[in-house]
Structure 1
């Protein structure tokens, strides 16, 4: 099978398309589930502050690396763990705790999102080169329905280093939207090995670029 080739990344037009697509996606979902009660959320905030102790200084050191192809990433301004919920390649439920001990570049995408489709080969290349027991590119597909469409896309585009994480309910998108982290697709978070948010961005990027690799090397360093 001939491998399909992507268009050039990034582009302002693709970013605009992604933002519009994300707004449509968000408008189509009217129900957001509340997992914690108010008291539990307050308790979680205290726990997060303890787990993310020292994250602020690490983010300050990371800021000079948010340049060039990853200049659109915004450093997190307050220590926190972002709640995540989706399914793993085997269909098992996963959360942010599933990746404790591993730095993660979390990316939300859909087959109907043109900028998402165009940046996937770069994400695949980043995982192939940098992925190990201390770092993973976690791409979460939010297409509704079964796994057939994203699986077909990944096969046609030669996406062979990335695992198929899924959330057909789009709940993870809405959770990040509520946190002010996802306004469209693609949406990407850089999360450290304790599950603490380091930086985030909306829109595509050249994840196989030297700028992206330098950022990942810094984030995964102990």
Structure 2
């Protein structure tokens, strides 16, 4: 029983350390392209009005692998708020490699998104993997974090909600009398 509080304290410390590494800065997003699981080209314009958590990762990167379950839990937590988690894999083997990895570790709540030539990572100026970029609903980069993090912890979820902004309320139809 003594081990559980120690583990909880370690997780809290890891989450707090991660939040300190989250660099906030509002700036325009570069034009990036990536692929969905079927190989169709996608851009940020395919996600209008959504907040995005873009995670640059690879199956051969130990810190990337360590944070994937937390990213999956984050995706489930924020899905109803129109905040999408896009893990862009730089694995050259594409869908087959990512699918096998997801099956091996039991991930079922993340989409397969591919950046096999690293074009999105270069356009974003990533210095290494993993790198995560938070994009607000207007398509602006609001923050980024280099390295792994406990994305599903309360401090990160709150920061992402704040940075992305609220979901726009549906417009009332204009009624003329």
Normalising TM by the smaller chain, what interval? 0.7 to 0.9
For residue 170 of structure 2, what is the aligned residue in structure 1? none
TM-score by length of 1: 0.65
- What's the counterpart of residue 214 of structure 1? 158
Q: CA deviation at 1:67?
A: 5.8
**Deviation string, structure 1 residues 130-182 (Cα, Å, up to 9, x no partner):** 113611111110101232211111111111111000021111112122xxxx1
2:45 is aligned, of 97, 102, 107, to 97
Matching of residues 122-201 of structure 1 within 5 Å = 122-132=70-80, 134-177=82-125, 182-201=126-145
The CA distance in 2 between the partners of 1:83 and 1:113, in whole Å, is: 25
Distance in 1 (alpha carbons) for counterparts of 2:152 and 2:79: 12
Gaps of 5+ in 2: 1-9, 168-177
Deviations 1:98-136 (A, max 9, x none): 112100000011001000000000000111121136111
Contact 1:10–1:204 (8 Å) recurs in 2: no
Q: Which runs of 4+ in 1 moved over 3 A?
A: 8-12, 66-69
What is the rounded CA distance, in whole Å, between the counterparts of 1:105 and 1:9 in structure 2? 21
Cα displacement (A) at 1:11: 9.8
Higher strand share: 2
Q: Is contact 1:9–1:205 with CA below 8 Å preserved after alignment?
A: no
How far does residue 84 in structure 1 lie from its aligned partner after superposition? 1.2
Gapped regions of structure 1 (runs ≥ 5)? 1-7, 13-65
Query: TM-score, normalization: structure 2?
Result: 0.80
**Residues 134, 220 of structure 1: 8 Å contact kept:** no
Structure 1 partner of 2:68: 120
Contact 2:94/2:114 (CA < 8 Å) preserved in 1?
no
Q: Give the whole-Å Cα distance in 2 for the aligned partners of 1:138 and 1:91.
A: 15
Matched residues in 2 for 1:189 and 1:203: separation? 11
Question: Separation in 2 of the partners of 1:85 and 1:135?
Answer: 19
The answer (yes or no) to whether the contact 2:37–2:95 under 8 Å persists in 1 is no
